[in-house]
Structure 1
Amino acid sequence: MPHPFTPVASVPVDARTARVHEEGWQSWSPSGAYALGDKPYRPTNDNWATVCYRPGVTVPEGTFQGEGLLALDPGDGSPVRLWAAPEPTREVPSIRLTVDGGTATVTADGPVKEFTGPDLQATLAEWATGLGVEAPRPAPTVWCSWYEYFTAVTEDDIHENLRAMDTLDLPVDVVQIDDGYQKALGDWLTLSGRFRSRAGIADAIRARGRRAGIWTAPFLVDPASDLAAEHPDWLVKDPGGSGEAGAHPHAARHDGGFLHAGRNWGHDLSVLDTTHPEAAAYLTEVFRTLRAEGYDYFKVDFLYAGALEGVRHGSVDALTAYRAGIELIREAIGEDAYLLGCGAPILPSIGLFDAMRVSPDTAPHRRPEADDYSQPGQDPAEFTGVGRQWQHGRFWVNDPDCLMARPAVETRERWAAHVEATGGLMASSDRLLSLDQWGVETTRRLLGGGAR
């Protein structure tokens, strides 16, 4: 049953100038500061509510809500007030704020601690520093296949861009193969028809003095995959036995006996149960194999799935299962490998990653689908990227998402300026031979600066 919301604080505010920072659940959940008269960004359909927000959580109209973290600048010159989960990697309460006249009322459905500071970003940064997370190591510079080729990427595309990096003298440390090399989600070691040899392409990358990187979505399983057909006992089960969410306050939509992690790639997706010893051994094998083939930069994506409430083989809560799953991956790839998280529950991920995507996907266009600020677009990526700047250098290196500098990209100058201003992970995602002079010079400059 959902926990009730109980009073936390009552704060006088200047309704004209006060600001509220909402911290979203995961990488793609809108996060940032709003004026009291603003309407916060919310999911525009049930699928995005599962895939990009905190599943099973509906926020009432006229209410601000942060997941484990909410801050208020009263706007009257008094200190910023921040309410946060005491143990953010273990329990993440929802924290709500409503305004009536000149008073803000704060409630939460779990324990919170209060902090104060001079302004929103500084107060959030001070709270983050106080958690004592080890400072992240600098990020390598990256070229990524996604925003040019998407799932249609071929091995020949990688070779073409690898040659172009030399021709154009681009300071790329890591060449990262994104989604499209694998046969299906879950069948990570089986190649799609567009790739000949994973080890061979890693060798080619390394022969040119660069590092090989690869993408996975380790907790997602396509029901059409060999894994799902051969090992249905490795999948997280539906916690409620009905077709409607609500058996647990943070449950995903589910049906047919298996927990569903939303719909993407044209499929209703299942979740790998990493508390099952055989599933855990399989995931270990996947990452050890990739590491042995020469990959030492790993982008792990759609991680929210590993933190969904469901029936697992092991009798542990969802956040414990999630962290154990990431720790399993880290052990398999080794401490020296670089680990980038994406689509990940933010607070439960503290201390686990070298870098973290802190915003929704960017896109060649500014505005997202249906103005849902969890969806791909430069505007939502900027909004949440700016709102989470305080995490950079304290929890991990912030990943603002890839630079796209080719002429076909809408407002490419503005997007490049945002990526540069974050000082975070610098990654190019263009067909490099399509760059004009401005694109080449901008890519060279941003990657040459590196992550700070």
Structure 2
Amino acid sequence: MPHPFTPVATVPVDVSTARVHEEGWQSWSPSGAYALGDKPYRPTNDNWATVCYRPGVTVPEGTFQGEGLLALDPGDGTPVRLWAAPEPTRAVPSIRLTVEGGTAEISADGPVKEFTGTDIQMVLGEWASSLAVEAPRPAPTVWCSWYEYFTAVTEDDIHENLRAMDTLDLPIDVVQIDDGYQKALGDWLTLSGRFRSRAGIADAIRARGRRAGIWTAPFLVDPASDLAAEHPDWLVKDLDGGFLHAGRNWGHDLSVLDTTHPEAAAYLTEVFRTLRAEGYDYFKVDFLYAGALEGVRHGSVDALQAYRAGIELIREAIGSEAYLLGCGAPLLASVGLFDAMRVSPDTAPHRRPEADDYSQPGQDPAEFTGAGRQWQHGRFWVNDPDCLMARPAVETRERWAAHVEATGGLMASSDRLLSLDQWGVETTRRLLAGIDIEGADR
């Protein structure tokens, strides 16, 4: 049952200059600062509310809301105020702000602590540092198949780009195979018809002196998969006894793997141990919001405990030396678990997203939320601003490249490399040469 909102603070504000930072629930949830007269970004349909925002949470009109974190610059020269979850890896309260006249009223549905500072980004960074997370390792440079080939990627596409990296002399550490190699969501070890051998590709990548990376969505299950047909007891249930609905994507309704079920946990361990043994040591784990959805699980743990336990299971299976990148993840509940984290919605070859929903793919929403979460970089993890796309067909590619470069975060190319013109090759090479998490040249 939802907890009631109780008053936290009353703050005088200058309504013409005050700003509010909303922290979204997960990687794709819009996050950033608004003027009091702005209309914050909200889901434009029920499906995106489940897939990209905090499910089950409807924010009243005229209300700002942060998930576990909300900051207010009163705009009158008084200190910035920040309200945050005391233990965000255990509980993430929703925090609301409404304005009446020249007064802001703050309320929350769980305990919060208050912090102050001189500006919003500074107080956010100081709060992040107070959690004393171990400093993240520098990220490798990456080539990723997704934004050129999407789910139609083939084994031959990977080999072509692997050769092109040498031809173009690109400083790429990791070659990451994205969605499309597997038969279905959940059937991670069964190949699609476009791939012949995962181990063979990993061997070819490593033979050229690069590292092999691979994508999974470990908590999602396609109801048409072999896993769903053979092991329906491995899926999270809803309160009515049916399968928990994790939204719709890839043209399918999606179910959730119950990693508190011992056999499902053993299966997930087998998947990641197998991939690791085949030579993969860079793992992008995506659509992680599904592991934190409220539902009926085999184990008597809450959703955030189940989520963290599932990620810890993956980490144990791949080992401490492998690099782990999260995406679509409930952010504050993920602190301390990842090497790198996507901190924005997907980018795209276009600027504006579908229906102006800033959780949806587009360069504008990726820039808005990526900039709003820059304070997390180097404190919680290496920020992943999403991939560089430098091919001529990409709209405003120069502006997108400038955003990716300015973050100083994970640098990943996602073009068919032989399609790059001179500007694309030079920009890709320059950004991949990169800067580390301290901002110093490599």
Q: Which residue of 1 aligns with 2:61?
A: 61
Paired residues for 1:262-301 under 5 Å: 262-301=247-286
Count of aligned pairs: 436
Which consecutive unaligned segments of at least 5 residues does structure 2 have? Answer: none
The percent identity for this pair of structures is 94
Q: Which residue of 2 aligns with 1:434?
A: 419
Deviations 1:112-164 (A, max 9, x none): 00000010000000000000000000000000000000000000000000000
How many angstroms apart in 1 are the aligned matches of 2:40 and 2:201?
A: 45
Q: Which residue of 2 aligns with 1:329?
A: 314
For the aligned residue pairs, the C-alpha RMSD in angstroms reads: 0.9
How many angstroms apart in 1 are the aligned matches of 2:140 and 2:197?
A: 24
Paired residues for 1:8-19 under 5 Å: 8-19=8-19
Q: Which residue of 2 aligns with 1:3?
A: 3
Paired residues for 1:231-310 under 5 Å: 231-238=231-238, 257-310=242-295
Deviations 1:158-215 (A, max 9, x none): 0000000000000000000000000000000000000000000000000000000000
Higher alpha-carbon deviation: 153-162 or 256-265: 256-265
SS class of match (2:345): coil
Deviations 1:384-419 (A, max 9, x none): 000000000000000000000000000000000000
How many angstroms apart in 2 are the aligned matches of 1:438 and 1:73?
A: 41
How many angstroms apart in 1 are the aligned matches of 2:241 and 2:34?
A: 40
Deviations 1:295-335 (A, max 9, x none): 00000000000000000000000000000000000000000
How many angstroms apart in 1 are the aligned matches of 2:322 and 2:87?
A: 27
How many angstroms apart in 2 are the aligned matches of 1:422 and 1:100?
A: 36
How many angstroms apart in 2 are the aligned matches of 1:91 and 1:290?
A: 32
How many angstroms apart in 2 are the aligned matches of 1:397 and 1:77?
A: 33
Give 1:2 deviation, angstroms.
1.2
How many angstroms apart in 1 are the aligned matches of 2:77 and 2:202?
A: 56
How many angstroms apart in 1 are the aligned matches of 2:416 and 2:78?
A: 51
How many angstroms apart in 2 are the aligned matches of 1:41 and 1:2?
A: 22
How many angstroms apart in 1 are the aligned matches of 2:306 and 2:3?
A: 21
Which consecutive unaligned segments of at least 5 residues does structure 1 have? Answer: 239-254
SS class of match (1:82): strand
Deviations 1:411-444 (A, max 9, x none): 0000000000000000000000000000000000
Q: Which residue of 2 aligns with 1:41?
A: 41
How many angstroms apart in 2 are the aligned matches of 1:361 and 1:347?
A: 19
Deviations 1:343-394 (A, max 9, x none): 0000000000000000000000000000000000000000000000000000
SS class of match (2:328): coil
How many angstroms apart in 1 are the aligned matches of 2:148 and 2:79?
A: 46
Deviations 1:84-136 (A, max 9, x none): 00010000000000001100000000000000001000000000000000000
Residue 349, structure 1, aligned to residue 334, structure 2: yes
SS class of match (1:201): helix
How many angstroms apart in 2 are the aligned matches of 1:334 and 1:183?
A: 26
Q: Which residue of 2 aligns with 1:128?
A: 128
How many angstroms apart in 1 are the aligned matches of 2:242 and 2:3?
A: 26
Give 1:256 deviation, angstroms.
7.0
Give 1:294 deviation, angstroms.
0.1
How many angstroms apart in 2 are the aligned matches of 1:421 and 1:33?
A: 19
Q: Which residue of 2 aligns with 1:150?
A: 150
How many angstroms apart in 2 are the aligned matches of 1:89 and 1:381?
A: 25
How many angstroms apart in 2 are the aligned matches of 1:334 and 1:316?
A: 25
SS class of match (2:429): helix
How many angstroms apart in 1 are the aligned matches of 2:324 and 2:229?
A: 29
State TM-score, norm by structure 2: 0.98
